[in-house]
């Protein structure tokens, strides 16, 4: 298999949220695809915060593109120059008012490698401590809750825990925690 070759590219939008490019590609067959849109975004973090009873901290917020209230994991954008672990701790505190004694990066997933350049870094947070109020961004209105892994997977099956990347992050975390429990580490 061969890579696609860039023939031309234009930046259509560039702001604090993203950069949108229109690219003309030449395929290995010689055919050209234009325009092909690529979205460049900062890396993201997902935090699977698990309390002492094995319950997962959730957040619920409105998502305007789909016009739905989404049940999700605490998550957010890694600021330019910020370490992913720092971003995960910051997002957990901002969205839930919680700090974690232990924050472990367990993997990363591509957000959408067909159109986006960024990855989602998945963290498991344990040893949760209340650390005050939420510190929400101006565009956030978030309600926190807790659910078991099995409840969240059941909700995913019926579209109520419906962000695919969050389901993937939850699956990675469940596997990590099961392995950790099995080895006693």
Domain definitions of the chain by residue range: 5-40, 44-183
- For residue 141, is pLDDT > 90? no
Report pLDDT for 62: 93
Antiparallel, parallel or unpaired: β 32-40 and 5-14: unpaired
What confidence score (pLDDT) does residue 63 get?
A: 92
Does CATH place domain 44-183 in 3.30.300.30?
no
pLDDT at 132: 81
CA 180 vs CA 54, 104, 153: distances in Å: 13, 12, 20
Across 42-51, 84-93, 150-159, 175-184, least confident range: 175-184
- pLDDT tens, position by position, 48-99: 999 999 999 999 999 999 999 999 999 999 999 999 999 999 999 999 999 9
């Amino acid at each position: 298999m061969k890579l696609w070759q860039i023939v031309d590219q234009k930046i259509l939008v560039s702001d604090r949220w993203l950069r949108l490019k229109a690219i003309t590609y030449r395929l290995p067959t010689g055919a050209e695809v234009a325009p092909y849109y690529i979205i460049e975004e900062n890396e993201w973090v997902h935090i699977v915060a698990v309390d002492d009873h094995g319950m997962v901290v959730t957040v619920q917020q409105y998502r305007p593109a789909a016009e739905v209230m989404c049940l999700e994991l605490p998550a957010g954008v890694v600021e330019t120059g910020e370490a992913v672990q720092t971003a995960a701790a910051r997002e957990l505190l901002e969205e839930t008012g919680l700090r974690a004694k232990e924050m472990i990066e367990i993997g990363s997933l591509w957000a959408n490698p067909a159109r986006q350049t960024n990855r989602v870094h998945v963290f498991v947070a344990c040893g949760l401590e209340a650390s005050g109020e939420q510190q929400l961004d101006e565009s956030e209105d978030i309600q926190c809750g807790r659910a078991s892994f099995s409840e969240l997977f059941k909700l995913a099956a019926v579209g109520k825990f419906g962000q695919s990347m969050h389901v993937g992050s939850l699956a990675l975390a469940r596997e990590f925690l099961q392995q950790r429990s099995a080895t006693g580490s």
